[in-house]
Structure 1
Amino acid sequence: MGNNSYGQCGRKVVENEIYSESHKVHRMQDFDGQVVQVACGQDHSLFLTDKGEVYSCGWGADGQTGLGHYNITSAPTKLGGDLAGVNVVQVATYGDCCLAVSADGSLFGWGNSEYLQLASVTDSTQVNVPRRLPFSGVGQVKQAACGGTGCAVLNGEGHVFVWGYGILGKGPNLVETALPEMIPPTLFGLTELNPEVRVSRIRCGLSHFAALTDRGELFVWGKNIRGCLGIGRLEDQYFPWRVRLRSAGWGVRVHSAAGQQGSLPPGPGASQMPPAAGTGESPGGASHRPGPVRL
């Protein structure tokens, strides 16, 4: 359900349909298997089935549907290319670039490459079929994340690698790279006293990143639009910074969700409270400190 201007909801585009007033829920039955994950991009959608197959629909002008063309597709269609016969376990997208992780730890990509996301396999800025990304030194990929201009992967050792363009997490000097660079594990809390700390999950918003450790600590970095990083200030953050939750003893136990201009770190249930003086609410109602919310 939602905006179907380009068929991203998996149904035929209806000319002049007013999506803001639409409550139409469309059931899609175009899959060979059960859908186990859905990832939504700017104007396209990806679907992963329990058979490890990837389907897509929506806007394809940058090749983000991965179907070998640049047209609109209104019905979920199975991807081929380098994904043919591959058992995929995760898909990721946000803007117009897409990544997929296979069961054996390989990484695949397609879609927009204006910001070097797929420059390891092509000089083209648009890739309309999935390509295997031959990244050496990364190891087995466990999870991938796509932002608007940057990408990240998490390997089996709990290390985070980033590439693309923007604030990538290794300080202000790294703005652009076509090959993944590892963010030092010490920035996620690894020390001699805490040698077992590992990153367990990663997420991307449009221009910011989030990483969750196995200790339940949330780290963020990137563009801090309207305080979306939740770090208590409005400046951009150039390397991972631990988010301090307002209630003592909280830990992020499930996952973090990073959106276009906001992030949500789940914690123990509590009623939403208005921020007190000095707690980080900026003029206009934007808060740059996390507060408890009942979900």
Structure 2
Amino acid sequence: MTRFDLLSWGANSHHQLGQSVESEQCVSPVAVNLNAVLGLIESEIEIKKVTGGAGHSLILDVNGNVYSCGWNAKGQTGIPGSQSYLSEFELIDKLKDVVIVDVACGWDSSMAIDNKGNLYVWGSNAYGQLGVRSSKIGNKAVIESPEKIDLQDFESEPIKKVSMGLRHSAVVTISGKLLVAGNGNKCQLGVIDSSNKPVRKIHTFTQVHDLSGIKSVACGQHHTLVQTNQGNLYAWGDNRHGQLGFDPIAYPSIASPSKLENINIGLNGEIFTGWTHSAALHDGKIIAWGRNTYGQLGRAELNKFQRNWIPELVKNKECHFIQLAVGSEHNVALTENGSVITWGWNEHGNCGNGTEEDVRLPVPIEMPKLGRVQLVGTGAGHSFAVVKYREDQENR
């Protein structure tokens, strides 16, 4: 029988690591006992995705079940109750009768998509980031358990992609429309009003009309990055650190979608955003741009005159990357040979190398030698890896 372990490390001030213990941080990977936590016999859970927000985490398994743990003061775990946090992963009961295919976390809110393209939202809606204003739910500041949104304005068109930033969200419809909601005080929504000014807040999902044929979207702290079906990238929002891929001196912010020239990541590329940096994974290579204060670009130099807004390759001797997960200011990548590589902000041990010093250059971290890492994930300041063991590796 195949067995899977979930390892977690980094910030744990709200029990977001799911380790059943309260601690400020965990600086090296530690296994989460999912069998005991989820009441499973052997290891029946195979994880498809693991991600997190500021202080909460979500697991999506291959059967479409969603589990959560961590900070719950604003309902972001999707499990209502009086407790301010969940110390162990628990099944989100409200979603057990649907098949979820993707999940996303904002700072203190969450979203999910089912296999029919329906969108579910829960957690903080203080800035309209859940896109909820209906007769059924109302314009609530907090939604304690998942509620399905009816996108009537778009003929209930199925959703295929979802992303959440600090206080704004974006979804991509099956036809390639981009819809946004939430806070737009830094132009991160990309929506212009009738007086040609950036819209500062939207409580219901609204289309960004300058775009079509969108494949995927990634929301940062105050910026947004999209990928088209042709592999082109467009960005908008805050650009003080060059996170949009444009010179921040000339363009401190950009109000509407602007194409990044000379970058095309093809049909199989993927895009990612941290709080103030951006990245793309394409053909085994990672390209990054934006803020590098903590080494989040994987570049050792911190010269203030360096043009970090120009996308460059993240260099590592184990250069064929197959997965990337980006936290607020740190990165976790998986290579073809199963190595986990981390770099960037490490104040809470979120890089997993046993220290609290920032990691300027990508370095591998220690993982179980008998298993093979299948998947990596991140929250704002915490990280995950899923390790698969064969039957002959059970007795470690």
Classify 1:134/1:270 alpha carbon distance in 2 versus 1 (closer, same or farther; 3 Å). closer
Q: 1:7 maps to what in 2?
A: 15
Classify 1:24/1:282 alpha carbon distance in 2 versus 1 (closer, same or farther; 3 Å). closer
Q: What is the count of residue pairs matched by the alignment?
A: 271
Answer whether contact 2:214 2:227 (CA < 8 A) is retained.
yes
Deviations 1:141-196 (A, max 9, x none): 11111111111110110110111121201233311121111112xx34x6xxxxxx
Q: 2:41 maps to what in 1?
A: none
Q: Which amino acid in structure 2 is aligned with residue 99 of structure 1?
A: M
- List alignment gaps of at least 5 residues for structure 1: 191-197, 274-280
Classify 1:135/1:28 alpha carbon distance in 2 versus 1 (closer, same or farther; 3 Å). farther
Say yes or no: does 1:163 pair with 2:192. no
Identify which of 225, 249, 258 aligns with 1:241: 258
Classify 1:124/1:181 alpha carbon distance in 2 versus 1 (closer, same or farther; 3 Å). closer
Say yes or no: does 1:56 pair with 2:71. no
Q: 1:26 maps to what in 2?
A: 31
Identify which of 164, 168, 172 aligns with 1:146: 164
- Report % sequence identity: 26
Shift of 1:95: 1.1
Q: Determine the C-alpha separation between the residues in 2 that align with 1:25 and 1:286.
A: 38
**Which stretch of the first structure deviates more once superposed, 207-216 or 283-292?**
283-292
Shift of 1:213: 1.0
Classify 1:34/1:176 alpha carbon distance in 2 versus 1 (closer, same or farther; 3 Å). same
Say yes or no: does 1:41 pair with 2:27. no
Q: 2:92 maps to what in 1?
A: 79
Q: Determine the C-alpha separation between the residues in 2 that align with 1:170 and 1:272.
A: 27
Greater RCO (Cα-Cα under 8 Å, separation 6 or more): 2
Q: Determine the C-alpha separation between the residues in 2 that align with 1:50 and 1:228.
A: 33
Q: Which amino acid in structure 2 is aligned with residue 37 of structure 1?
A: K
Classify 1:271/1:101 alpha carbon distance in 2 versus 1 (closer, same or farther; 3 Å). closer
Q: Determine the C-alpha separation between the residues in 2 that align with 1:28 and 1:222.
A: 40
Q: Which amino acid in structure 2 is aligned with residue 251 of structure 1?
A: I
Classify 1:181/1:26 alpha carbon distance in 2 versus 1 (closer, same or farther; 3 Å). same
Normalised by the length of structure 1, the TM-score is 0.83
Classify 1:259/1:290 alpha carbon distance in 2 versus 1 (closer, same or farther; 3 Å). same
Shift of 1:225: 3.7
Answer whether contact 1:250 1:268 (CA < 8 A) is retained.
no
Q: Which amino acid in structure 2 is aligned with residue 134 of structure 1?
A: D
Counterpart mapping for 1:101-250 below 5 A: 101-118=113-130, 119-120=132-133, 121-138=137-154, 139-166=157-184, 167=187, 168-171=189-192, 172-184=197-209, 187-188=210-211, 198-233=213-248, 234-245=251-262, 250=264
Q: 1:194 maps to what in 2?
A: none
Q: Determine the C-alpha separation between the residues in 1 that align with 2:56 and 2:164.
A: 14
**Larger strand fraction of residues:** 2
Normalised by the length of structure 2, the TM-score is 0.63
Q: Determine the C-alpha separation between the residues in 1 that align with 2:98 and 2:121.
A: 13
- List alignment gaps of at least 5 residues for structure 2: 1-8, 39-43, 289-301, 320-396
Q: Which amino acid in structure 1 is aligned with residue 122 of structure 2?
A: W
Answer whether contact 1:231 1:241 (CA < 8 A) is retained.
no
Shift of 1:293: 2.4
